[in-house]
């Protein structure tokens, strides 16, 4: 080896200038191109992997939040039946069937049936009306036994076929049983009973079936013991044709894990479902885009060989005249390697040098175009996710509004009830807006006015409000549902503590070609630390905020939506002082309605 190196060195030192230039430039150019390709490949590969992993985590988290909302609704239904119906009813004098039927009609999209049993397993009431099958003793069922043994808890079962009641068509559905112990009153005596709510399995499955992780990834649901509750291949698993690592996943805490299953590596994303012991599990195959795949390595080898042949062909014909153009070409490639992708590649010298420069420029242009396409696709996906979040209607607000209407009718306040119903209809008409995301400012403020009218009925003597919009701002464009979440926060976090002297002022204005919409209240206010935490600018600003009360579209989501549609120079600003109130301002461009594309 040493003799070979010495021979090459001797030949190099005694060779012609053309040979020396050919050998030195070939080696240096090959190294530069190889390092550039490997560096760019590794960097973009890592960025793409991180992006895909983040999006998969976000999708699993959204499924977990949707499931949490669904289960909370079912728990509220159980509490409503018990505390508002069963607990206040003497079964010797009154029946609870009608009240249960009304509640069933409200939740019929999610509930298969609701049944109230005595502690001896006798049916007290059902919704819808049904007849218990002959010979059925519910006392031996797991859901009944668990409810009677642990009377203080709610119990969620695993999927099973509901076959307690007679069905002439033998159309028995898959359900998930929710059961709890209740106290039944008969005259002066009380006894334990069991309330059973059979949740439609199809309703729960719909939360998962529409979610698609990257590649062939999927999401499934297990209980605390690893028993499958939902899986896209549930029937194949039950028949033994497919296996799943659900028992292993049951031992995982919330997080991301790497698992080898059937000889293949895959990522496991685990999120626990509160108060049930269930876990949402996302499965994504590995690797998707890595240096280890044979196709990628073959592609790199082909490119390397192509450039090697091109360099040899060019260097045979090169002369002293090519030294400077080649050096300049190498420098421009080096700038691309350092991240200056927007800088032009040098194209000059002889035709061969120009061809090489053009080829490198084309490669950089293609990479730049791919990067822009990836960013554009990511922004479009963010818009779709925010639009899906915007489309979620908080059932808690609707339930409270309907409760107000029922109360007004029962108390003879029919005119007030008509006002609330009319405001609610207008509220949801503007919320839908025929699928449009961009609406006039006057429609957005009318939407807020209807919302405040409803809340004013709910919070009697708590606060007043004023809405001021000059004519020049009425027909400007705004994103729908950006003012109402701010007003909602003002009510829940400020007006809820007032006693008749609360004031919310909403003003729109135009200045220097910009539109501003301000929501000010005279509530408790907040410190500067709290203000900064509401709209963080670090990595946490990309996380979805989950509000405990309200529409679910918080300040950060309003900020994201404004910036996605109008640019980073617009958004939300907050001014607040403790005990002096809070002012939230939305900054948007002054664009006449109809001149902006609605995406």
Cβ atoms < 10 Å from Cβ of 538: 6
Whether the per-residue pLDDT at 539 is higher than 90: the answer is no
pLDDT for 486 equals 92
Nearest Cα to Cα of residue 481 among 379, 574, 400, 552: 552
pLDDT for 420 equals 78
Integer angstrom CA distances of residue 270 from 64, 173, 259, 276, 279: 10, 29, 12, 15, 7
Among the ranges given (237-246, 369-378, 499-508, 563-572), the one the predictor scored with the smallest mean pLDDT: 369-378
Fold for the domain defined by 391-589: Heat Shock Protein 90 (3.30.565)
pLDDT for 583 equals 95
Whether the per-residue pLDDT at 105 is higher than 60: the answer is yes
How far, in Å, CA of 101 to CA of 126, rounded? Answer: 8
Average pLDDT score over residue span 379-407: 62
Q: Are the C-beta atoms of residues 155 and 277 closer than 8 Å to each other?
A: no
Which positions ≥6 away from 67 have C-beta within 8 Å?
204, 207, 221, 273, 278, 280
Integer angstrom CA distances of residue 75 from 70, 71, 78, 154, 291: 9, 6, 5, 8, 49
Whether the per-residue pLDDT at 239 is higher than 90: the answer is no
CATH tag for 212-286 (out of 3.40.50.970, 3.30.450.20, 3.90.550.10, 3.30.360.10): 3.30.450.20
- Counting Cβ atoms within 10 Å, is residue 351 exposed (0-12), middle (13-18) or buried (19+)? exposed
Q: Are the C-beta atoms of residues 197 and 74 closer than 8 Å to each other?
A: yes
Per-residue confidence band for 404, with pLDDT thresholds at 50, 70 and 90: confident
Looking at the chain, the whole-number percentage of residues with pLDDT higher than 90 is 22
Whether the per-residue pLDDT at 114 is higher than 90: the answer is yes
3-class SS at 194?
strand
Average pLDDT score over residue span 435-463: 86
Average pLDDT score over residue span 532-551: 55
List, in sequence order, every beta strand (DSSP E) within 500-580. Answer: 502-511, 514-521, 571-577
The pair of structure tokens assigned to 421 is 């119903």
Among the ranges given (68-77, 339-348, 375-384), the one the predictor scored with the smallest mean pLDDT: 375-384
Radius of gyration of the chain (CA): 33
Q: Are the C-beta atoms of residues 284 and 217 closer than 8 Å to each other?
A: yes
pLDDT for 22 equals 66
Domain map (residue ranges) of the chain: 15-48+292-385, 89-203, 212-286, 391-589
pLDDT for 542 equals 46
Residues β-bridged to residue 483:
none
pLDDT for 382 equals 58
- Between these two residues, 550 and 22, which has the higher pLDDT value? 22
Per-residue confidence band for 547, with pLDDT thresholds at 50, 70 and 90: very low
Beta-strand relationship, 123-127 and 111-118: antiparallel
Q: What is the pLDDT of residues 271-297, one digit of tens each?
A: 998 878 899 999 988 754 454 556 766
Whether the per-residue pLDDT at 196 is higher than 70: the answer is yes
Average pLDDT score over residue span 350-375: 74
Alpha carbons within 13 A on the beta-carbon side of 146: 15
Per-residue confidence band for 477, with pLDDT thresholds at 50, 70 and 90: very high
pLDDT for 546 equals 42
Average pLDDT score over residue span 16-32: 66
Specify which of 18-32, 384-398, 521-535 reaches the highest per-range mean pLDDT: 521-535
Average pLDDT score over residue span 78-82: 91
Looking at the chain, the whole-number percentage of residues with pLDDT higher than 70 is 79
pLDDT for 588 equals 95
Q: Are the C-beta atoms of residues 212 and 203 closer than 8 Å to each other?
A: no
pLDDT for 13 equals 54
Per-residue confidence band for 544, with pLDDT thresholds at 50, 70 and 90: very low
Distance of CA 120 to the CA centre of its chain: 46
Whether the per-residue pLDDT at 17 is higher than 50: the answer is no
What's the residue count for the chain? 599
Q: What is the pLDDT of residues 481-508, one digit of tens each?
A: 899 889 988 888 877 777 667 899 999 9
Among the ranges given (16-30, 400-414, 580-594), the one the predictor scored with the smallest mean pLDDT: 16-30
Q: How many helices (H) and strands (E) does the chain have?
A: 17, 18
Whether the per-residue pLDDT at 311 is higher than 80: the answer is no
Q: What is the pTM of this model?
A: 0.44
Average pLDDT score over residue span 572-579: 92
Whether the per-residue pLDDT at 2 is higher than 60: the answer is yes
Three-class secondary structure assignment of 135-153? CCCHHHCHHHHHHHHCCCC
Per-residue confidence band for 389, with pLDDT thresholds at 50, 70 and 90: low
Average model confidence (pLDDT) across the chain: 80
Nearest Cα to Cα of residue 116 among 133, 97, 102: 97
Which positions ≥6 away from 525 have C-beta within 8 Å?
494, 576, 577, 578, 579, 580, 581, 582
- Between these two residues, 165 and 43, which has the higher pLDDT value? 165
- Between these two residues, 571 and 332, which has the higher pLDDT value? 571
Specify which of 172-181, 213-222, 341-350 reaches the highest per-range mean pLDDT: 172-181
Alpha carbons within 13 A on the beta-carbon side of 497: 11
Whether the per-residue pLDDT at 342 is higher than 70: the answer is no
Three-class secondary structure assignment of 467-516? EECCHHHHCEEEECCCCHHHHHHHHHHCHHHCCCCEEEEEEEEEECCEEE
pLDDT for 423 equals 76
pLDDT for 317 equals 63
How far, in Å, CA of 99 to CA of 87, rounded? Answer: 12
Whether the per-residue pLDDT at 264 is higher than 70: the answer is yes
- Counting Cβ atoms within 10 Å, is residue 168 exposed (0-12), middle (13-18) or buried (19+)? exposed
Specify which of 33-47, 231-245, 376-390 reaches the highest per-range mean pLDDT: 231-245
- Between these two residues, 306 and 505, which has the higher pLDDT value? 505
Q: At what angle do helices 17-81 and 294-317 cross, to 10 degrees?
A: 160
pLDDT for 502 equals 86
**Cis preceding-peptide flag for 287 (omega within 30 of 0):** yes
**212-286 with 391-589: one CATH topology?**
no
CATH tag for 89-203 (out of 3.40.1160.10, 3.50.30.40, 3.90.1170.50, 3.30.450.20): 3.30.450.20
Which positions ≥6 away from 497 have C-beta within 8 Å?
523, 524
């Amino acid at each position: 080896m040493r003799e070979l190196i010495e021979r090459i060195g001797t030949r190099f030192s005694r060779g012609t200038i053309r040979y020396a230039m050919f050998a030195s430039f070939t080696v240096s150019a090959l190294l530069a191109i190889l390092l550039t390709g490997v560096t760019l490949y590794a960097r973009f590969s890592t960025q793409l992997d991180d992006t895909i992993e983040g999006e998969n985590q976000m999708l699993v988290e959204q499924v977990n939040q949707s499931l949490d909302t669904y289960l909370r609704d079912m728990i509220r239904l159980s509490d409503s039946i018990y505390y508002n119906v069963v607990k206040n009813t003497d079964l010797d004098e009154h029946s609870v069937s009608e009240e249960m039927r009304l509640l069933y009609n409200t939740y019929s999209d999610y509930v298969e049936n609701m049944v109230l049993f005595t502690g001896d397993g006798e049916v007290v009431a059902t919704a819808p009306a049904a007849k218990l099958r002959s010979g059925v003793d519910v006392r031996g069922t797991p859901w009944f036994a668990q409810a009677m043994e642990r009377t203080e808890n709610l119990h969620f079962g695993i999927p099973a076929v509901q076959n307690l009641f007679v069905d002439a068509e033998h159309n028995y559905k898959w359900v998930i049983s929710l059961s709890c112990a209740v106290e039944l009153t008969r005259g002066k005596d009380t006894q334990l009973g069991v309330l059973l709510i059979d949740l439609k399995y199809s309703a729960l499955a719909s939360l998962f079936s529409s979610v698609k992780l990257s590649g062939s990834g999927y999401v499934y649901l297990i209980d605390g013991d690893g028993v499958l509750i939902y899986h896209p291949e549930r029937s194949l698993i039950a028949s033994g044709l497919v296996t799943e690592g659900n028992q292993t996943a049951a031992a995982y805490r919330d997080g991301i894990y790497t698992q080898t299953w059937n000889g293949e590596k895959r990522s496991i994303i685990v999120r626990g479902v509160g108060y049930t012991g269930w876990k949402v599990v996302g499965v994504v195959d590995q690797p998707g885009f890595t240096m280890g795949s044979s196709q990628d390595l073959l592609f790199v080898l082909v490119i390397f060989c192509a450039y090697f042949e091109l360099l040899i062909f060019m260097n045979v014909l090169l002369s002293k005249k090519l030294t400077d153009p080649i050096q300049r070409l190498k420098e421009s490639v080096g700038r691309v390697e350092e991240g200056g992708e927007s800088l032009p590649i040098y194209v000059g010298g002889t035709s061969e040098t120009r061809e090489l420069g053009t080829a490198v420029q084309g490669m950089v242009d293609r990479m730049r175009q791919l990067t822009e396409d990836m960013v554009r696709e990511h922004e479009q996906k963010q818009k779709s996710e925010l639009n899906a979040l915007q489309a979620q209607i908080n059932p808690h607000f609707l339930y409270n509004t309907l409760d107000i209407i029922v109360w007004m009718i029962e108390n003879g306040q029919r005119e007030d009830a008509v006002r609330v119903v009319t405001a609610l209809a207008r509220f949801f008409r503007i919320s839908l807006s025929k699928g449009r995301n961009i609406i006039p400012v006057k429609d957005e403020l009318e939407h807020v006015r209807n919302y405040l009218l409803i809340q004013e009925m709910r919070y009697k003597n708590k606060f007043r409000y004023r809405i001021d919009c000059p004519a020049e701002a009425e027909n400007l464009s705004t994103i729908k549902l950006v003012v109402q979440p701010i007003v909602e926060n003002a009510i829940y976090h400020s007006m809820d503590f007032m006693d008749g002297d609360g004031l919310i002022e909403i003003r729109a204005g135009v200045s220097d070609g910009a539109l501003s919409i301000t929501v000010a209240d005279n509530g408790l206010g907040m410190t500067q630390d709290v203000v900064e935490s509401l709209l963080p600018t670090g990595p946490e600003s990309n996380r979805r905020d989950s509000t405990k009360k309200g529409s679910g579209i918080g300040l950060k989501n309003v900020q994201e939506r404004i910036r996605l549609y109008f640019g980073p120079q617009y958004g939300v600003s907050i001014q607040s002082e403790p005990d002096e109130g809070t002012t939230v301002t939305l900054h948007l461009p002054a664009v006449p309605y109809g001149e902006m594309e609605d995406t």
